[in-house]
Amino acid sequence: MRVRKAVALFGSFLIFLVCFMIYLTLDLTVFPNRKTSIVQEFQDNKWLHFEGRLKQLENDLNKHHEEVGEIKQAMKILVPSTDSSISSGKAKKINDNFVPIEPPNTNRMPNSEIIYNDSCSFQINSVPRTNIQMLDMYKTLKFDNPDGGVWKQGWKIQVDPLSWNKQHKLKVFVVPHSHNDPGWLKTVEEYYLSQTKHILNNMIVKLQDDPRRKFIWAEISYFAMWWEDLEQDQREIVKRLIRNNQLEIVTGGWVMNDEANSHWISIMHQMTEGHQWLELNLNYTPKSHWSIDPFGMSATQPMLLKQMGLQNMLIQRVHYSVKKQLALDTNLEFRWKQIWDNTGATEIFTQLMPFYSYDIPHTCGPDPKICCQFDFKRLPGHGLHCPWKVAPQPINDVNVPQKAEMLLDQYRKKSSLYKTNVLLVPLGDDFRYNHPTEWDVQYHNYQKLFDFMNSNLKMHVQIQFGTLTDYFNAVRAEKPLSDFPTLTGDFFTYADRNDHYWSGYYTSRPIYKRMDRVLLSYIRSAEIMLALSYLNKKPNSKWITNNAAGLTKAVSEARKALSLFQHHDGITGTAKDHVVVDYGEKMLQAIKSTQNVIQHCANLFLLGPGADIPAIDIVHYNIDDIRHSHDALPEKHTITIGPELSIKRIAIFNSLPFARHEVVSFMVSTPFIEVLNFKNKKIRCQVSPVFEYGSSMSNSKYQVSFIANVPALGIVSYTINALLEFEVPRETVYSSVKIFNQYAEVQPPTGFPNIHVSPSASEFTIQNARITAAFNSLGLLKALKIATHTVPVHLDFAKYGARYGAERSGAYLFLPDGDATPLHIESTIVKVIEGPLLSTVIVQLPYVQHTVTLFNSPGADGLGLQIQNLVDIEKSSNFELAMRLSTNINSTNQYFTDLNGYQILRRVRFAKLPLQANYYPMSTMAYIEDKTTRLTVLTGSPLGCASLREGQIEIMLDRKLNQDDHLGLGQGVTDNHPTRHIFRVLLERKTHRCETTSDDHPSGFPTLSAHVASQTLLNPLVLMLRTDDDDLGMLPAYSPVTTDFGVDFTLPSLRTGLTIDEKNYIGVVLQRQHLDLCFADRILLQQFPLSDGKINISAILPPLEEQVKLNKSSLSFLHIKEGVDIRSVISMCPMDIQAFVLKR
Ligand SMILES: [Zn+2]
């Protein structure tokens, strides 16, 4: 734009003129004293009472809503729909005179309740009927762990061989398997080359030797690697082995995912990666799930598997006392369903393995000493032995009668724990069957035993090798599923023996747990932007949508890196150091490549229709999140602007399906700036100094913050201009800075002459429109005030040591040396930055740089207190660091933690359990509440948490443990790195007498605030800096969304790269969250409007051609279901997940 250059020139001339005048007069008083007035304005605001502040918030909100409305209207002009009569026009720029053609469509009436119809199985007003409820079982279990004899954690099983006869035979399926971790002691590639490749190569040969032989395989990450190495004729053999049911793919996920730390969207991705690979290469659909090693079982997993069309599941690592109870009641097989499900719609048939482990000594029956003798890899000469000191013997004609009787006795005993005469006997272990002779000894010896048993009619047994689904089919043939009990709840926290609770891995290697969430958010943004680009028809270039290359390939590779990390030794932090580095490097690469996809798509959006497609190798935007290395803290760009180069263009993308009005911050090289919105109108911004070391502040780096208004799935441009000091408009506001406990003098940075420095400290407050936060003289939170209610909320940090003895805490186990002891803090410098948009308190404590921020925005960031802990425990030893929030909330012994960011379960702190057993995974949030008040903590990284005292929530931040915990890893956790965790703390009062769930409901639901604050925390606005500063007539904004969803709907995935019957599809996944509205007031419902349970998918997509087809599908897109009119309204029940495929 020539006009802009003219303005800039004229501006420069003015600047020169003014400088010259200053030089002449040397009278600095000509500068307007703007700071005083604006600081004063803020000070005045402070004294407005609460209602006044809320009124202000409401006004602000309307203003921000209007702006988003204008963007949407502008979109209708700029990006005409295919069937629209509006002329496409040449308009490319919205100027100040832009007037919306109709009132913005943002004033939908807010719902004050969650609406759903009677046909939903969802029930919260009473507890849905179930036979087994896990929290109820926990209340009655003694957890006493008596010695059960050979079955240590059980009892002496006695069976009567006469229970079986000719009509009533024991049907045994021996299922050979090999558990292949995609990374643990070796990286996935190292394992593949040294073991997995050989296992699979041998499989082809050895299964062909005898059609009675069977084998199951779970990890598609390995299978896909191997497939690449196969010749065409070998691939045909594999297909044949699958066709004739010798080989079954179980679960079919990319990995066998962790269930504590993984986010459900990542679990969905890792399953989809595997399932799509199977569909594409083998035209195969898995039926049964196999999860033998993950360390505790989540109730989210059966929900996802059911949605993917799987019919059966097998699980293994469950607390030994729970196993024993279920075994006593012959309830080891059950219909696992969701906790709110009143109709059984979510049920999936599940078997729980009864004994200690999935290895051969613990799978044939209760006595490991006997079962070990039937692990023929432990025959002399194979390098393995039986710890019970009785070695196996080769089966021959002489010993077969006695051996068969011995083995059958174990089978009969195991079978007595189940309701049917069908018995599952897994036969395998970690990385088994890697040598041809192992195949020979196992299959030969077992076949001899089978032949003997089957021909000896008095044994009344029918035994064979089987697949997992062979077993489940036989069970289903024998008994209707309705004969099995229903079960709700989960299986955390896992203990394998004694007080060995596996709650350490909820926190181990937290830097990578945080990285996992960052990568997930980048993948969401990248896949949504790419799908929208594709639907926009803009990119005709192959490099954008080609599945085998280009941006779709880049996103697909990133999904694979994320999927790999969901492995139960990945996100759990339980792999060897060099394997951890390997995961980290793969995720770093994935973050970089999704960032590249995002910046390309941002450019495509803003190029407008009809523009030429730029080349693939151009960087149009730098994402403002620099990552130099997998183990380094992310950094922000410093925007270098000044007299030479005075303008920086910025673009901000919102990956959520609702409009956002949130504070965003950038680093700039000068404090003298202005910020312009997409209409080139000056907007309010706040400039703050940046602390470097201690109390010293940078003279070359400042933080500028402003409220960005970004429509759903939209992108909006902003501009930052450098000015001379006297040009700074009144919209630019400078933070006030106070430093307490500071003895030495502080050099004020340019632009901040009035830094308040005090050698002492007193208590102080910061506030926004909703909340006032009070701090003690150490700068730690003391109380929160909402409306007229003040609640003490004491924040402190505490440490655990590792207990002494032979068994100590490690990567998996949390074995503390007692209760936590508070970190001793004597005095610390407290830095307080205050302004109209945000106020921040920064304190440096031992091991933690603790930063608390209150955003004064009408968005989700303004609903609570944001806490950033930069944790560094590198120099400690046998040390675990926790953050605690202590309140006077009468939470009794109850607390609530989420599972995989999908659902929330009620927890009870049990005195009969050790401290570490009361720790639970906190994937995205935890809360405590009483009749009036709820405190929710939201987290940006999955971590362990507990409520060890009434009114308290405690979150483990990092752990450094110098020793192995004897679970196979063979090392401690000592590779700690400085890690930045982000939390949001929400204090809410019930607005009226209201119960969302019945008192004894084992489930909880997030409040409206907690839901939107968590969504925005996990999916931050993507901040982008344009690399060239020429105005190329770019669009100022882009938004495909005509009508926002209600905030109860989320868009977990909108993606390209699906190939079904050799055609490209777009995948769409929608979820509807149930919310606890007891804490929502009128303004909140106005800020975050709810849906009426219905949704129109076309409302979030660019205008589509008539021929576009939409079908419902299973969650991993394997089962394509009925067609739906894309323009029709779709109803969804609360807690439902629904997938669709879209074909152009
Ligand atoms: Zn494993």
| 179 Cα: distance to centroid of ligand 1 (angstroms) | 6
Closest by alpha carbon to 1041, among 59, 81, 323, 5? 81
User: Residue 482 burial by CB count (10 A; 0-12/13-18/19+): exposed, middle or buried?
Assistant: exposed
Residue 15: pLDDT over 60: no
As a whole number of angstroms, the distance between CA 540 and CA 297 comes to: 45
The per-residue pLDDT for 991 is 80
Contact between 484 and 337 under an 8 Å Cβ cutoff? The reply is no
Residue 44: pLDDT over 60: no
As a whole number of angstroms, the distance between CA 751 and CA 739 comes to: 17
Residue 520: pLDDT over 60: yes
The per-residue pLDDT for 549 is 73
The per-residue pLDDT for 306 is 98
| 569 Cα: distance to centroid of ligand 1 (angstroms) | 7
pTM of the predicted protein model: 0.93
Lowest mean pLDDT of 72-76, 518-522, 672-676, 780-784, name the range: 72-76
Kindly state the average pLDDT of the residues 41-63.
62
| 429 Cα: distance to centroid of ligand 1 (angstroms) | 10
- The predicted-structure confidence for 880-937, as pLDDT tens digits, reads as follows 999 999 999 999 999 999 999 999 999 999 999 999 999 999 999 999 999 999 999 9
Task: Return the biggest CA–CA distance within the chain.
Answer: 116
Query: Which two three-digit tokens encode residue 226?
Result: 């191997």
- The predicted-structure confidence for 840-881, as pLDDT tens digits, reads as follows 999 999 999 999 999 999 999 999 999 999 999 999 999 999
Query: Which two three-digit tokens encode residue 1006?
Result: 């997030």
Q: Name the active-site residue from 293, 341, 582, 872.
A: 293
**Angle in degrees, CA 508, 511, 513, rounded to 5:** 65
The per-residue pLDDT for 6 is 47
Residue 30: pLDDT over 60: no
The more confident residue out of 47 and 1069 is 1069
| 574 Cα: distance to centroid of ligand 1 (angstroms) | 10
Q: Where are the beta strands (DSSP E) in 109-166?
A: 132-133
Kindly state the average pLDDT of the residues 773-800.
96
Go through 80-116 and write b for each residue having 16 or more CB atoms within 10 A of its CB, e for each that does not: beeeeeeeeeeebbbeeebebeeeeebeeebbeebeb
Lowest mean pLDDT of 107-116, 981-990, 1073-1082, name the range: 107-116
Per cent of the chain over pLDDT 90 is: 80
1111 phi and psi, to 5 degrees?
A: -125, 145
Lowest mean pLDDT of 114-118, 779-783, 1069-1073, name the range: 114-118
Band of the pLDDT at 42, cuts 50, 70, 90?
Answer: very low
Question: DSSP labels for 360-423?
Answer: GGGTSSS-HHHHGGG-GGGSTTSS---TTS-------TTTHHHHHHHHHHHHHHHHTTSSSSEE
The per-residue pLDDT for 124 is 86
Residue 98: pLDDT over 90: no
Residue 28: pLDDT over 90: no
Residue 523: pLDDT over 50: yes
Assess whether the previous peptide bond of 493 is cis (omega < 30° from 0): yes
How many of the other CB atoms lie within 10 Å of CB of 699? 17
The single-letter DSSP state of residue 193 is I
How many of the other CB atoms lie within 10 Å of CB of 936? 27
The more confident residue out of 1144 and 703 is 703
| 192 Cα: distance to centroid of ligand 1 (angstroms) | 14
Give every CB contact of residue 248 below 8 A, 6+ residues apart in sequence.
Answer: 214, 215, 216, 217, 242, 288, 467, 468, 469, 470
Kindly state the average pLDDT of the residues 673-701.
95
Beta-strand relationship, 697-710 and 660-668: antiparallel
Closest by alpha carbon to 1075, among 999, 1007, 1004, 1136? 1007
Closest by alpha carbon to 260, among 901, 747, 864, 688? 901
Contact between 1101 and 1039 under an 8 Å Cβ cutoff? The reply is no
Residue 534: pLDDT over 50: yes
- The predicted-structure confidence for 805-823, as pLDDT tens digits, reads as follows 999 999 999 999 999 999 9
Query: Which two three-digit tokens encode residue 689?
Result: 């100094």
The per-residue pLDDT for 538 is 59
Beta-strand relationship, 422-430 and 685-691: unpaired
Kindly state the average pLDDT of the residues 326-335.
98
How many of the other CB atoms lie within 10 Å of CB of 545? 20
Round the average pLDDT of the chain to a whole number and report it.
91
Residues near ligand 1 ion, CB 5 Å cutoff: 181, 293
Closest by alpha carbon to 499, among 175, 870, 143, 810? 143
| 132 Cα: distance to centroid of ligand 1 (angstroms) | 28
Question: DSSP labels for 206-224?
Answer: HHHH-TT--EEE--HHHHH
Band of the pLDDT at 956, cuts 50, 70, 90?
Answer: very high
Q: Where are the beta strands (DSSP E) in 697-751?
A: 697-710, 715-722, 732-734, 736-740
The single-letter DSSP state of residue 916 is G
Query: Which two three-digit tokens encode residue 29?
Result: 């008083």
| 293 Cα: distance to centroid of ligand 1 (angstroms) | 5
Residue 736: pLDDT over 90: yes
Contact between 148 and 325 under an 8 Å Cβ cutoff? The reply is no
Contact between 1125 and 112 under an 8 Å Cβ cutoff? The reply is no
| 661 Cα: distance to centroid of ligand 1 (angstroms) | 44
| 747 Cα: distance to centroid of ligand 1 (angstroms) | 56
160 classed as catalytic? no
As a whole number of angstroms, the distance between CA 859 and CA 57 comes to: 10
- The predicted-structure confidence for 595-642, as pLDDT tens digits, reads as follows 999 999 999 899 876 677 777 788 999 999 999 999 999 999 999 999
- The predicted-structure confidence for 452-505, as pLDDT tens digits, reads as follows 999 999 999 999 999 999 999 999 999 999 999 999 999 999 999 999 999 999
User: Residue 167 burial by CB count (10 A; 0-12/13-18/19+): exposed, middle or buried?
Assistant: exposed
The per-residue pLDDT for 1104 is 86
